[in-house]
Structure 1
Amino acid sequence: MTTNSHLYIIAAMSENQVIGLDNRLPWHLPDEWAHFRKVTDGKAFIQGRKSFEAADALHSSYKNVVLSRNQNLEKSEKTERASDLNEGIALLKDENEVFVLGGASVFEQALPLAEKLYLTIVHTTVEGDAYFPKLDWDEWELISSEFHQRDERHKYAFSMNLYVRKES
């Protein structure tokens, strides 16, 4: 598969690797959302159907690819359907940067292909039913980290980290 795209994963997980509960984020972190919007503004997104349909889902104002086997998935002019990750990447082959937004199985499939990992660590342990896949930290180098203290708007402290895949 040839592509000009750079594939990035963007996610937030708790210290026990939870990324969701009942198809929602288990926290509300306004400054982390602002960071997400800044990083992804004007970029194409790939995500699974459940993530796309979640109540707190994030959609690109530019271009979305939803991974679903449902041929009748409701789409808008900025949304296309792909039956799997490879097809989704192929649909976005002319994009410079593509962000993978989840869920768990999509992250797992995209991880070996990703060049960058925008991973926010929420400094707590929470109950969840969706988890970020196990990472081999030896494959990743931390490039930047911005710590955000708990405050009146943020129930938990968190660190917004950027990792790049190490040269093999």
Structure 2
Amino acid sequence: MTVTLVAAVAANGVIGAAGGMPWHLPADLARFKRLTSGHVLVMGRRTYESIGRPLPGRTTLVVSSRANWRPDGVTVVSSVDEALEQGLAIDEQVFVVGGTRVFESVLPRADRMALTLVDDCPPGDTYFPDVDWSQWVEVHREPGQGLAFVDYIRR
């Protein structure tokens, strides 16, 4: 069973701005689809609202404290623990896709990180959490134009 954090992270740590992403990177979106299709996604409510719909071919678990918030096509859970428990009961691979609070909660339990490192410092209001890099080892790097796809596993 594997829990993987997936994010595009700018050089300044930004992952979001004003409820969206501060860039449009088709290669990153294609990688995200390739990694996550057929698997379980865990995300916070704001991340789900920024996407606006369930992503096809994936089971979506949304962490929210709003009792009456129940969008069609997703399962709403009240905690990250509940999301991981349900997700791992459904699939051996769970992909955690944001936002900051969900990443912070899952990071100590994550097995892998699949990051797109963006060579830019855009303004933003949502950041990837601080990572203790001594706990991680880089296992793959694929450079691209203005970005790099980098995979890490926990030591």
User: Is the structural similarity TM-score above 0.5?
Assistant: yes
Distance 1:145 1:10, change over 3 A: same
Deviation (angstroms), 1:61: 2.4
Q: CA RMSD in A?
A: 1.5
Deviation (angstroms), 1:106: 0.6
| Equivalent pair of 2:63/2:76 in contact (CA under 8 Å) | yes
Q: Which has the larger radius of gyration?
A: 1
Runs in 1 of length 4+ with deviation above 2 angstroms? Answer: 55-62, 74-77
Runs of 5+ unmatched residues, structure 1: 150-156
Tell me which amino acid in the other structure corresponds to 1:161: V
- Tell me the TM-score normalised to structure 1 length: 0.87
Give the Cα separation in 2 of the matches to 1:60 and 1:126.
29
Deviation (angstroms), 1:60: 5.0
Deviation (angstroms), 1:59: 2.6
Q: 1:126-165 counterparts in 2 under 5 A? A: 126-149=122-145, 157-165=146-154
Q: Secondary structure at the match of 1:52?
A: helix
1:103 aligns with 2:92: no
1:91 corresponds in structure 2 to 86
Could you say which structure has the higher helix fraction? Answer: 2
Distance 1:100 1:55, change over 3 A: closer
2:7 corresponds in structure 1 to 11
- Give the share of equivalent positions with the same residue, in percent: 32
Deviations 1:135-155 (A, max 9, x none): 111111000011111xxxxxx
May I ask how many residue pairs the two structures share in their alignment? Answer: 154
Runs of 5+ unmatched residues, structure 2: none
